[in-house]
Structures are given as structure tokens and as C-alpha cells.
Amino acid sequence: MQHDLRKTMTILVLFVFGTLSITVQNLRAEDHLVTPADLHSAIIKTAEARQNNLAKLQNFLSSVPAREALKTSKIDLAKVEKAIPHLNDEELARLASQAEKIQSDLAAGALSNKQIYTLALVGLVGLVVVLLAAT
């Protein structure tokens, strides 16, 4: 009789622990700090920002002053264009911001052609140094 009571108590304890563990897991699953929808939205936003920054740099490199600055400094444009996608998001954003500022200053007439060449050259040489260090 004591053996049956012990067996029944063991089964009851196992049942209670099993039920509690399932309940706790369900509570944890509902209590995420970041929802999957928020995570998906953040991933999409980051990818769009990266694509936008890549487009800004491609646009900048296709401009006449940038091409002339590259020729003057004897930097291979094809190598630079090939290396740009390998930059991390932070470096890419910084260079895209600099390229955008140079182009807006040019459009506003705030810079002369010589200043544009100098700024483009400094930015591109910085890019090449970063890329060469990464390879």
C-alpha cells in the first residue's frame, strides 16, 4: 500500500512539474522584448539604409570631379567600386554622408573645382586606405 501511495505521489509530482514547465515556457514565449515584426522592420530599415548609402557613393563616384580626382591620384576606379560593398554599415554611412555633403556644396556653389578635387581625393584615399587595410 505504501508502495502504491509512493508511486501515485511520484506520478502526481511529475505531472505538476511537467504542467508548470509548459506554462512557464508559454509565458516566456509571450514576453519577448522585441517582437518578430519589430525585428523584421529593423532588418528591412537597415537594408534600405545600406542600399541608399551604396547608391549615394556610386552616384558620387560617377561624377566628373570624382573621376578626375581618381585619375589625378592614379587610383583605379574599378577597384574602389568593387571594394565599396565590402565596407561595414558605419563606414559606408560615413562616406555616403561625406559624398552627399561635397555634392550639395558643389550645387550651392560653396566650393571651387579645386576644393572639390581635394575633398574628393581625401575621401577616396581614405576609402582606399580602409579597403586595403581590410584585405
**Cβ(92)–Cβ(84) under 8 Å?**
yes
pLDDT by residue (tens digit) across 7-39? 677 776 666 666 666 655 555 555 567 788 888
Spans of the chain below 70 pLDDT: 1-5, 7, 12-32, 107-122, 124-125, 127-135
Closest CA to 118 of 78, 66, 59: 66
Q: Is pTM beyond 0.85 here?
A: no
Cell of 81: 567600386
Residue type, 47: A
C-alpha angle 110-112-113 in degrees, rounded to nearest 5 = 135
